[in-house]
């Protein structure tokens, strides 16, 4: 009797091994890396645009942007102060994987950076399944998406190290029950550190920047 291993499991195991290699490369170069995930339009690129100017005098930062077709986000990261920005066109794939990040790392002299910000493809399903080798996974949720997202996309909320709730300036205009949202999050990811912010007004960004700085230095 031959043992049958599902194809999906094999793919994920190979991905995990490569993610470990990516992590080892980042560690040996002294680079702290974050994986920003979100649905399209939640504000990943806006977060990067708000984060870079606040840190670029203190840290050497590179950005890697995953996108299905364009280089718009990588261009925005460069304009906001990333010393290097690499675009990964996924060729239709709806998530980044460890092979794609490896390709991006190959284009960077990692010894020149302290922080690597990876912007995943906008998608609330599969990015959670593909480890990249980054140190922290960050989910950017946003008020207009609705307060039911933790209930509908539990896989995404379960594994992340920090949660950003963007566009809180829209709370007065949108029926978003913060209690309901946070109960859903708590059931999946108890105690996860959460940053309610507005990229438009700047509210809440200081706490996020402090957290990120502490983690880079650790």
Q: Taking CB within 5 to 8 Å according to partner kind, which of Mg ion, Zn ion, none is near residue 192?
A: none
Q: Taking CB within 5 to 8 Å according to partner kind, which of Zn ion, Mg ion, none is near residue 44?
A: Mg ion
Closest CA to 168 of 145, 137, 193: 145
* CA distance from start to end of the chain: 50
Residue span binding Mg ion (CB under 5 A) among the ranges 37-45, 97-105, 177-185, 195-203: 37-45
Which residues make beta-bridge pairs with 113?
A: none
Query: What is the nearest approach in angstroms of Zn ion to the Cβ of residue 90?
Result: 8
Closer by beta carbon to Zn ion, 83 or else 94: 94
Q: Please, what's the largest Cα pairwise distance for the chain?
A: 63
Q: What is the DSSP string of 143-189?
A: GGG-TTHHHH-HHHHHS-SEEEEE-GGGGGGS---HHHHHHHHHHHS
Per rule CB under 5 A, count of chain residues that contact Zn ion? 3
Closer by beta carbon to Mg ion, 121 or else 212: 121
Binder to Mg ion among 18, 39, 44, 176 (CB under 5 A)? 44
> Per rule CB under 5 A, is residue 12 in the interface with Zn ion?
no
Query: What is the nearest approach in angstroms of Zn ion to the Cβ of residue 153?
Result: 13
> Per rule CB under 5 A, is residue 45 in the interface with Mg ion?
yes
Per-position x/- string for 61-90, each x denoting binding to Mg ion as judged by CB under 5 A, each - no binding? ------------x-----------------
- Spatial separation of the C-alpha atoms in residues 132 and 17, rounded to whole Å: 10
Q: Between residue 87 and residue 126, which ones bind Zn ion under the rule CB under 5 A?
A: 94-95, 126
> Per rule CB under 5 A, is residue 149 in the interface with Mg ion?
no
Task: Judge residue 10's burial from the number of C-beta atoms within 10 Å of its C-beta, 0-12 exposed, 13-18 middle, 19 or more buried.
Answer: exposed
Closest CA to 50 of 202, 213, 214, 161: 202
Residues that bind Zn ion (CB under 5 A): 94-95, 126
């Amino acid at each position: 009797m031959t043992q049958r291993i599902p194809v999906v499991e094999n793919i994920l195991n190979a991905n995990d091994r490569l993610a470990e290699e990516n992590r080892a490369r980042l560690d040996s170069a002294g680079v702290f890396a974050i994986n920003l995930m979100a649905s399209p339009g939640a504000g990943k690129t806006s977060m990067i645009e708000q984060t870079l100017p606040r840190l670029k005098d203190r840290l050497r930062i590179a950005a890697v942007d995953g996108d299905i077709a364009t280089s718009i986000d990588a261009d925005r990261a460069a304009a906001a102060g990333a010393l290097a920005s690499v675009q990964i066109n996924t060729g239709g794939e709806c998530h980044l994987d460890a092979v794609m990040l490896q390709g991006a790392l190959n284009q960077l002299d990692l010894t020149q950076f302290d922080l690597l910000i990876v912007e995943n493809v906008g998608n609330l399903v599969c990015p959670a399944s593909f480890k990249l080798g980054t140190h922290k996974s960050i989910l950017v949720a946003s008020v207009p998406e609705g307060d039911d997202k933790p209930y509908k996309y539990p896989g995404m909320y379960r594994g992340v190290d920090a949660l950003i709730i963007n566009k809180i300036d829209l709370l007065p205009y949108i029926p978003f029950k913060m209690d309901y949202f946070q109960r859903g999050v708590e059931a999946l990811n108890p105690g996860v550190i959460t940053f309610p912010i507005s990229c438009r007004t700047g509210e809440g960004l200081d706490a996020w920047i402090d957290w990120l700085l502490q983690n880079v230095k650790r």
